[in-house]
Structure 1
Amino acid sequence: MKKVIELIKQWLIKFWAPLAIVIVMLSTAISLTVVMLHKQQITVQIPNLTLRKHYGIQGSPISVLKKGEHLQIIQKKEGWYQVRRDDESTGWVAGWLLKRKEPLKKVTPLSEATIVLDPGHGGSDVGSLSINNKYEKTYTLQLAKRVKKELAKTGARVIMTRSTDKIVYLAKIPKVAEDNHADLFLSFHFDSAPEKNQATGFTTYYYHRNNGSYNLAKNVNAAMNLPLTNKGVEFGDFLVIRQNTVPAILLESGYMNNKKDFKYIKSSKYQEKVAKAVPVGLQNYLTDQVETGQ
């Protein structure tokens, strides 16, 4: 017995270095495996999430996930997760809703949408000037942030082209929507006329008629119940919507160089009206799209 123990000691002394390396490697591999398995598991936090055949809001509904269900994540794509349920069935669900802990009053197509908001101008690009030389860029950012806050209540995934006072070059703005595989794009601006107090009102612009942009513009414009004149929906040759492949619109929500309009533009009450109207218009548009299968 003593000889055996002595042999083991000699063996350990001789091979302790490679043995230690093997032990460390095995421990690391086991730890990584446990972490990876944990990362690939997720529990549904809120009820009534739609499980779809394919990723995206146009994917055919398969079932509804229940709060507390344990899912295995198979893959991730464009913000969506392909998951496997306990019964081995699979499908796609909006990843941001799976992570959400705050309940939603209702899960709608808007909840599953990725929306890019573009506060016009920024940084050295100040935009239009008001009568008292205030910058358009200030109010487009204020408005976009309010819209983002309202959209967050619906569960929608919102991406901003800018969240601070910085310039985002025009050519890069449409790419934000494309790179994030957005469902919708909205650019916020305030108009300006050649002469002060010459023009008033708000207008909703589209460029592409056949990719959903025109219908999106109609739905958003119809939801706007504002104290300024509604000048309706018009074709607009603006790069940020012209070069956009997703349904895209541009909102001119008043004239910076009109005294009456600017009084509203800088008003938090007016901005809130616009911010609350936008989700209504988006929801109406997406509901029509889902129902018609377009």
Structure 2
Amino acid sequence: MLEEYRARQLRQENSLIGRGFLMNRLITLTAGAVLLLLSLLLAPSVMAADNETYMVDVEDGSSLLIRDEPTSSGEVVGKLQNGDQVTVFDEAYGWVKTYYDNQVGWVASQYLFPMEQNHDSLHKRKQTAMYKKQSVSSLTERKVQKQDSVAIKNGQEQSQTVEPLTGYTIVLDAGHGGKDPGAIGIDGTYEKDLTLATASKVAKNLKASGATIIMTRNDDTYISLEKRIKISNRSDTDAFISFHYNSFPIETVGGISTYHYTEDEDLELAENIQSGIMDHVSLKDNGTKQADYRVLKKNSDLSVLIELGFVSNPAELGEIKTETYQDNVAAGISEGIQHYFSH
């Protein structure tokens, strides 16, 4: 009898424990369901306000790796191709969070560009600079008198007119830098040194006329193309000017060219700059040319790229390296920019 009583008591205790476990489990599941329901109700409105869609922009044949955490040491969980679209939900340390195959993934932000930056939107943003050009120039003509300055051409001082640029922001991009020397002259001259020298002189000229200047680099530092574009796109930029010196296997090839991407807004700026340069130097005039250089194609602001002579041409290199040439091309570029924004 005693053993039967103990067995019955044990069955009752197990039953109570089982019911308690089930009750706790039921409470837990109910709470989880409520939280899940709330998250489903609330999350969409948050995401709709916060998320943005970007397009992957990598070199042809390359892939953008998706990692499980915002670091280059994170495990690769997937790959994106050029032109793929990505919805971004967060950003950290130069990485953005997205979702890939139902899991969180992180990709490097410098390879993503807003979907709104298609050709039409680029056209509209470039046109904004043109409208600003018209309104600001008319204002400065009424309030600011043109100033006289001195330019050097062939060793002789020449007077020039400085158009006021107050209210304009110009980004000057000295090509290459750091680990990227650019073209190397026949005597070992680095393109990166020449571009920085030229951009610095142009910066001084434009500041004197009232412009706000942003340099993509001020010293021998490597700056990626993506970062150069971002510096321009994230600033209140009216014009982006990229400086380069050319090279070619045939030593006799030479001359100066100014490149543009669009055939309207950018072309007009390119023509003004090319004309300004050729008023000050004697190198061959190769004119303006259309090109889809990355810093132009992905730039949402007025933008041009200037090739200021060939370091592979012995005759041109000897002239390019002189202080006089640097002063002259800087004066020509500055005048071209000033002329564009004042007319």
Matched positions, count: 197
- Listed one character per residue, the Cα deviations across residues 168-202 of structure 1 (whole Å, up to 9, x for unaligned) are 0011111111111110010000000023x131111
2: CA distance, partners of 1:198 / 1:113: 39
Residue of 162, 169, 176 corresponding to 2:224 = 169
In the alignment, is the contact (CA less than 8 A) between 1:219 and 1:281 conserved in 2? yes
Shift of 1:138: 0.6
2: CA distance, partners of 1:139 / 1:60: 32
Identity %: 35
1:228 and 2:279 are equivalent in the alignment = no
2: CA distance, partners of 1:284 / 1:277: 10
Shift of 1:207: 0.9
Q: Which runs of 5+ in 2 are unaligned?
A: 1-130, 149-161
Q: What pairs with 1:126-205 in structure 2 (closer than 5 Å)?
A: 126-195=181-250, 197-205=251-259
Q: Which runs of 5+ in 1 are unaligned?
A: 1-54, 68-96, 98-102, 289-294
Residue of 248, 254, 257 corresponding to 2:309 = 254
SS for the counterpart of 2:289 is strand
Residue of 166, 172, 181 corresponding to 1:117 = 172
Q: How large is the Cα RMSD of the aligned pairs?
A: 2.7
1:218 and 2:268 are equivalent in the alignment = no
Match of 2:335 in 1: 280
1: CA distance, partners of 2:258 / 2:252: 19
SS for the counterpart of 1:272 is helix
1:208 and 2:256 are equivalent in the alignment = no
- Listed one character per residue, the Cα deviations across residues 54-93 of structure 1 (whole Å, up to 9, x for unaligned) are x9555579989xx9xxxxxxxxxxxxxxxxxxxxxxxxxx
Q: Normalising by the residue count of structure 1, what TM-score does the alignment of the two structures yield?
A: 0.62
Q: Normalising by the residue count of structure 2, what TM-score does the alignment of the two structures yield?
A: 0.53
In the alignment, is the contact (CA less than 8 A) between 1:110 and 1:282 conserved in 2? no
2: CA distance, partners of 1:276 / 1:234: 21
2: CA distance, partners of 1:243 / 1:215: 18
Instruction: Rate the CA distance shift 1:60–1:217 in 2: closer, same or farther, 3 A.
Output: closer
- Listed one character per residue, the Cα deviations across residues 195-249 of structure 1 (whole Å, up to 9, x for unaligned) are 3x13111111101223x11000011111122121111011122111111111100
1: CA distance, partners of 2:175 / 2:134: 29
Q: Which amino acid aligns with 1:215?
A: E
